[in-house]
Chains A and B, each alone.
Chain A
Amino acid sequence: MDIAFKVNGEARQVGVPQTASLLEVLRNHLGLMGTRYGCGLEQCGCCMVLVDGEPAYACTREVGTVAGRNVTTIEGLGSQAKPHPLQQAFLDEQAGQCGYCLSGILISAKALLDRTPNPTRAEVVAALDKHLCRCGAHQRILRAVERAAVKLRNAPVGARRAT
Chain B
Amino acid sequence: MTAPALPASLVENPRLDRWIAFQPDRTVRIATGKVEIGQGVVTAIGQIAADELDLPLDRVAVLSGSTTYGPDELYTTSSLSIMVSGGSVRLVCAEVRAKALERAALRLNCSPDDLTVADGQFLQNGQATGQDYWTVAGEIDLSQAVTGSVKPKPAASYKLVGQSVPRIDLPAKVSGAAYLHDVLPADVLHARTLRQPSRGATLAALDEAAIRRAAKGELQIVREANFVAFVSPVESVAEAAAAAAPQHVKWNNVRRIEPAAQEAAWLKGQPAEDRRLGAPEPATKPKRLVEITVSRPYVAHASMGPSCALAEFRDGNLSVRSHGQGMHPLRKNLSVALGLPIERITADHLHGPGCYGHNGADDAALDASLIAMKIPGRCIRLQWRREEEFGFEPVGPAMLVTLHVDLDERGRPADWTTEIWSATHVQRPGGGSGYLLATEALANPPPEVKPTDPPVERGGGGTRNAIPLYDVPAHRILHHLVQRPPVRTSALRGLGALPNVYAVESMMDELASRAGEDPVAYRLSILSEPRARKLIELVAQRSNWKARGPAGTGKGLGIGFARYKNSAAYAAVVASVTVSESVAVDRVWCVADAGLVVNPDGARNQLEGGIIQALSWTLKEQVKLDSEGIASRDWDSYPILRFSEVPDIHAELVDGAGNPSLGVGECSVGPTAAAVGNAVAYALGVRIHDMPLSRERIMAALLKV
Q: Which residues of A approach B to under 8 Å, CB–CB?
A: 20-21, 24, 27-28, 31-41, 43-44, 46, 73-75, 77-80, 83, 87, 90-91, 94, 96-103, 106, 125-126, 128-129, 131-142
Of B170, B184, B235, B601, which contacts A99 at CB under 8 A? B170
Q: Would A129 and B644 be within 8 Å (CB), given that A24-B235, A94-B166 are in contact?
A: yes
Q: How far is the CA of A77 from the CA of B177 in the complex (A)?
A: 13
Do the beta carbons of B174 and A90 come within 8 Å of each other?
yes
| Contact A24/B613 with A34-B175, A74-B175, A80-B172 known, Cβ cut-off 8 Å | no
Q: A33-B176, A125-B644 are in contact. Are A136 and B634 (CB under 8 A)?
A: no
Given known contacts A33-B182, A98-B304, what 15 new A-B pairs fall within 8 Å (CB)? Answer: A36-B179, A37-B306, A74-B176, A80-B172, A94-B170, A96-B38, A100-B352, A125-B643, A125-B644, A135-B354, A136-B609, A136-B613, A139-B608, A139-B646, A142-B643
Q: Chain B 182-210 against A: per-residue CB contact (8 Å), 1 yes, 0 no?
A: 10100000000000000000000000000
B37 within 8 A of A: yes
User: With the chains together, A54 CA to B386 CA distance in Å?
Assistant: 25
User: In the complex, how many angstroms separate the beta carbon of B562 from the nearest chain A beta carbon?
Assistant: 18
A34, A46, A94: the one contacting B177 at CB < 8 Å is A34
Bound-state CA distance A37–B381 (Å) is 14
Cβ B609 vs Cβ A44 within 8 A: no
Check B386–A33 contact: CB distance below 8 A.
Answer: no
Query: 8 Å CB contacts to A: which residues of B164-182?
Result: 164, 166-167, 169-179, 181-182
Q: Does B265 contact A (CB under 8 A)?
A: no
Kindly state the separation between the CA atoms of A101 and B613 in the bound complex, as whole angstroms. 15
For B, the interface residue count at a CB cutoff of 8 angstroms equals 58
A137 close to B605 (CB less than 8 A): yes
Residues of A within 8 Å of B634, CB to CB, are 39, 41, 43
A residues less than 8 Å from B235 (CB atoms): 24, 28
**Bound: A139/B177 CA distance, A:** 23
Cα of A129 to Cα of B177 in the assembled complex, Å: 24
**In the complex, which of the residues B38, B175, B304, B605 contacts A132, with contact meaning CB atoms closer than 8 Å?**
B304
CA distance A74 to B179 in the complex (A): 14
User: Would B642 and A134 count as touching, CB distance under 8 A?
Assistant: no
How distant is the Cα of A44 from the Cα of B643 in the complex, in angstroms?
12
- Quick check: B37 and A134 within 8 Å, CB to CB? no
A143 to B285, CA, bound (A): 57
- Please determine whether A102 and B174 come into contact, CB atoms closer than 8 angstroms: yes
Indicate which residue in B37, B234, B612 contacts A138 across the interface (CB closer than 8 Å). B612
Q: Which residue of A lies closest to B356 (CB)?
A: A134
Contact status B303-A134, CB under 8 Å: yes
Chain A proximity mask over B606-647: 1 for CB below 8 Å, otherwise 0: 001111110010000000000000000011100011111010
Contact across chains for B305 and A38 when beta carbons are under 8 A apart? yes
| Pairwise interchain contact A97-B38, C-beta atoms closer than 8 A | yes
B294-321 residues with Cβ-Cβ distance < 8 A to A are: 302-306
Interface CB pairs A-B, < 8 A, 8: A41-B386, A80-B172, A80-B177, A96-B38, A132-B304, A134-B356, A136-B610, A140-B605
A99 to B609, CA, bound (A): 13
Minimum CB–CB distance from A85 to chain B (whole Å) comes to 12
Question: Do residues A97 and B609 form an inter-chain contact, with CB atoms below 8 A?
Answer: yes
Main secondary structure of the interface of A (DSSP, over half): loop
Known: A39-B386, A41-B634. A132 touches B354 (CB 8 A): no
- Inter-chain contacts of B303 with A (CB < 8 A): 100, 134
What 1/0 mask marks residues of chain B from 522 to 562 whose CB sits below 8 Å from any chain A CB? 00000000000000000000000000000000000000000
Of all A-B residue pairs in the complex, the 6 with the closest CB atoms, nearest first, are: A34-B176, A136-B612, A99-B173, A98-B38, A98-B354, A97-B38
B636 & A80 in contact (Cβ 8 Å cutoff):
no
Q: Let me know if A134 and B608 touch, CB within 8 A.
A: no
Query: How far, in whole Å, are A3 and B178 apart by their CA atoms in the complex?
Result: 28
Within 8 Å CB of B174, what residues of A? Answer: 83, 87, 90-91, 96, 99, 102, 106
Instruction: Give the Cβ gap from B18 to chain A, nearest Cβ, in Å.
Output: 27
Contact B236 A139 (CB under 8 A): no
B173 near A102: Cβ-Cβ < 8 Å = yes
B648 at the interface (CB under 8 A from A): yes
Most buried by A among B173, B177, B302, B602: B173
Q: How many A-B residue pairs have CB under 8 A?
A: 166
Tell me if A37 and B305 are in contact (CB < 8 A): yes
Q: Are A98 and B353 in contact (CB under 8 A)?
A: yes
Q: How far is the CB of A96 from chain B (nearest CB, A)?
A: 6
User: A102 → chain B, closest Cβ, in Å?
Assistant: 6
> CB of B149 within 8 A of chain A?
no
Q: How far is the CA of A31 from the CA of B188 in the complex (A)?
A: 13
Given A36-B181, A139-B649, A140-B608: A134 in contact with B171 (beta carbons within 8 A)? no
CB distance from B213 to the nearest CB of A (A): 16
A33 touches B184 (CB 8 A): yes
Do residues A35 and B176 form an inter-chain contact, with CB atoms below 8 A?
Answer: yes
- Complexed CA–CA distance, A36 and B602 (Å): 25
Kindly state the separation between the CA atoms of A33 and B351 in the bound complex, as whole angstroms: 14
Whole-angstrom distance from the CB of A90 to the nearest CB of chain B?
Answer: 5
Given A36-B305, A75-B176, A98-B354, also A83-B171 (CB < 8 A): yes
Decide yes or no: A44 and B170 within 8 Å by CB, A20-B236, A33-B182, A135-B354 being known contacts: no
Residue in chain A with minimal CB distance to B642 = A129
Q: Is the CB of A38 within 8 A of B643?
A: no
In the bound complex, residues from chain A placing their C-beta under 8 Å from that of B220 are none
Q: How far is the CB of B237 from chain A (nearest CB, A)?
A: 10
Q: Which residues of B contact A78 (CB under 8 A)?
A: 175
Q: Which residues of B lie under 8 Å from residue A94 when comparing CB positions?
A: 164, 166-167, 170, 601-602, 605
Most A C-beta atoms less than 10 A away, residue of B38, B303, B610: B38
Q: Which residue of A lies closest to B611 (CB)?
A: A136
Task: Say which residue of A46, A99, A132 sits within 8 Å of B640 (CB atoms).
Answer: A132
The chain A residue with its CB closest to the CB of B306 is A37
CB distance from A78 to the nearest CB of B (A): 6
Residue B124 lies at the interface, judged by CB distance under 8 Å to chain A:
no
The docked-state distance in angstroms from the alpha carbon of A38 to that of B178 is: 15
Nearest-neighbor residue (CB-CB) of A128 within chain B: B643
- State the CA gap A32–B646 with chains docked (Å): 32
How far in angstroms is the closest Cβ of chain A from B662? 20
CB neighbours of A102 from chain B (8 A): 173-174
Given A44-B635, A102-B174: A133 and B304 within 8 A (CB)?
Answer: yes
Flag if A100 contacts B171 (CB, 8 Å): no
- Cβ of A80: which chain B residues have Cβ within 8 Å of it? 171-172, 175, 177
CB distance from B624 to the nearest CB of A (A): 16
CB contacts (< 8 Å) of B602 on chain A: these are 94
Q: How far is the CA of A146 from the CA of B649 in the complex (A)?
A: 17
Who on chain A is nearest to B635 by CB?
A43
B182 touches A46 (CB 8 A): no
CB of B580 within 8 A of chain A? no
Chain B residues lying within 8 Å of A100, measured Cβ to Cβ, are: 173, 179, 303-305, 352-354
Near A by CB (< 8 A), chain B positions 352-409 give 352-354, 356, 383, 385-386
Closest to A142 in B: B643
Measured between alpha carbons, how far is A32 from B174 in the docked complex, in Å?
14
A149, chain B: closest CB distance, angstroms: 16
